Amino acid sequence: MRRWRHFTVVGCFVLACLAIVGRVGYLNFTQRDFLQQQGDARSIRSETVPAYRGLVFDRYGEPLAVSTPVVAVWMDPSRNSLGEADVRHLAALLDLDADRLQAELAASAHREFLYLRRRVSLELAGSVRALGLNGVYFQNEYRRYYPAGETTAHVVGMTGVDDAGLEGVELSFDEVLRGQSGRKVVLKDRRGDTVKDLEFVSAPRFGSDLRLSLDLRLQFLAYRELKAAVAGHRAASGSLVMLDVATGEILALVNQPSYNPNDFTPGDTAGMRNRAVTDIYEPGSTVKPFTVLAALESGDFAADSAIDTSPGYFSVGSKLVQDPADRGVLTLEQTLQKSSQVGIAKVALALQDRAVFDVLVRAGMGSYMGTGLPGEAVAAINDAGLGDPVVRTTLAYGYGLALSPLQLAHAYLTLASGGLRRPLSLLRQEMPPDSTRVFPAALAREVIAMMETVTADTGTAPKARVPGYRVAGKTGTARKVGSDGYDDERHVALFAGLAPVSAPRLVVVVVINEPQGQLRGGGEVAAPVFARVVARSMRLLGVKPDGPGDAA
């Protein structure tokens, strides 16, 4: 009886095995393609191979934007769910609110994909993996890091969570930097971990690197001095632009307030405006050198031409033009040196209707500069009303037109280069660009010589002087327009200049918007910033001193 039961059990077992083998063989023969398809659908996935975004460097190879590997943590709520304890552990590691995460998972039960958190560090992702939670997956990606932080924020910009450019050159050169992602086919286990790479469908194409014209040393110097000036004068904002005279390269471009692209809070956009490029101001007396240039071009004026400014005011139509005091008879050079409104107005009225306007346009005002920076404004200048003496008068001393700090710097670059108009560049140039002659070199040098007297003790900007170097420039103090016309309490303080005079190397424009306190003029507020920045820049660049004073 026992032997019979033994053989019966063994027989049943053998028959069952044979049935299973037969069934497997049958299915393998009749439904092979279907079963293979179902198996692949559960274990084989196509994944993106993220492209490495190109790096951004300054002109000497210092990194301004780099990409670091990070991890995105995600789930498929439609297939997996987490217990309350697991949710709390996960939320604690990812620095999320546990109750909010639980509610979001419940509300997303029908979704097949849900990011839990992106841009997680490799170390933190490893801690999450160690929890061994079923249904929590990981995806490799990159995050942008900006070593110079807020110092270069307005030029370099930043990327979003998807590593696409949002501001600055990250946006304007996005197609160059971002590259193209690749694809691969992988075998995954039931927990979603990759077991094996089966096939590389396409390799990622990495983004190209960019080398900017910025000099990080000069950028940091300009940023530090501008920030101190804006804070010291309790100003609303400020901008500084520095250009290389020989190439038209932008060596420094800074604004205040700024922002930190490494720790940007959505909604906090107060410091994001690139004011040097997007904001336009009436430039005030910084336009007067171009009025003087128009006078010299006419042939009716020379540097020593006499202009009677007595009694310190005169009427042009219904407008009263006045100086702070009666300066009597001034030469054309002294008119620029002392920034006489009356003298400049009388010069403008003695010229042809379009003379000053044409000089401003030839200098580049009103032209699109094409630097590649987002939001670049075009100067507000037109020839409407030039037949009206009031329009010609106000245009001659910087009212009735509006420029960005970068456009004003471009115009001064034309003077500094001896009458050659050069395009501006945010990318490093290996060769000087093609230039267009718009003014005679002799006249440009003569105007620069007059501008040098502005920094003398009897000029409006002695605080712009740099020990050891000859500098030339012009102050500007423009009233801002309010609801009831020009506001006597709100000003823009400007200084635009170049150095050294013997062989101009740098053009620098400083704009301090709405300074508070007793000092509000360009000579008191903006000129000292110019002097400190230029003094240190000359030494960093190794420019040979050309003037009196200690240049050590």
Q: Catalytic residue numbers? A: 285
Q: Is the dihedral of CA 57, 60, 62, 68 positive or negative?
A: positive
Dihedral of the CA atoms 189, 192, 197, 201 (nearest 10)?
130
Distance CA 283, CA 286 (A): 6
Contact 403, 379 (CB under 8 A): yes
Distance CA 229, CA 355 (A): 37
Question: Burial code of 62-73, b = ≥16 C-beta within 10 A, e = fewer?
Answer: bebbbbeebbbb
* Sequence-ordered strand ranges (E) for 346-450: 420-421, 436-437
Phi, psi of 155, rounded to the nearest 5 degrees: -90, -55
CA geometry: angle at 294 spanning 291 and 299, to 5°?
A: 135
Contact 82, 170 (CB under 8 A): no
- What is the helix (H) or strand (E) element at residue 534, kind and residue range? helix 527-541
Contact 428, 213 (CB under 8 A): yes
Q: Is the peptide bond before 324 cis (omega within 30 degrees of 0)?
A: no
Question: Residue 18 to residues 14, 25, 28, 30: CA-CA distances in angstroms?
Answer: 6, 10, 15, 18
Contact 405, 371 (CB under 8 A): no
Contact 347, 291 (CB under 8 A): yes
Bridge-based pairing of strands 165-167 and 158-159 is antiparallel
Distance CA 377, CA 372 (A): 12
Distance CA 371, CA 357 (A): 24
Smallest Cα–Cα separation from 146: which of 64, 253, 255, 258?
64
Q: Is 114 exposed, middle or buried (0-12, 13-18, 19+ CB in 10 A)?
A: middle
3-class DSSP assignment, residue 271: coil
Structure tokens at 126: 């490893």
3-class DSSP assignment, residue 4: helix
Beta bridge partners of 474: 496
Q: Is the dihedral of CA 5, 6, 11, 14 positive or negative?
A: positive
Structure tokens at 498: 């170049």
- The single residue listed with the structure tokens 């994944």 is 47
Q: Is the dihedral of CA 175, 160, 264, 95 positive or negative?
A: negative
Contacts of 294 (CB under 8 A, 6+ apart): 348, 351, 355, 356, 358, 359
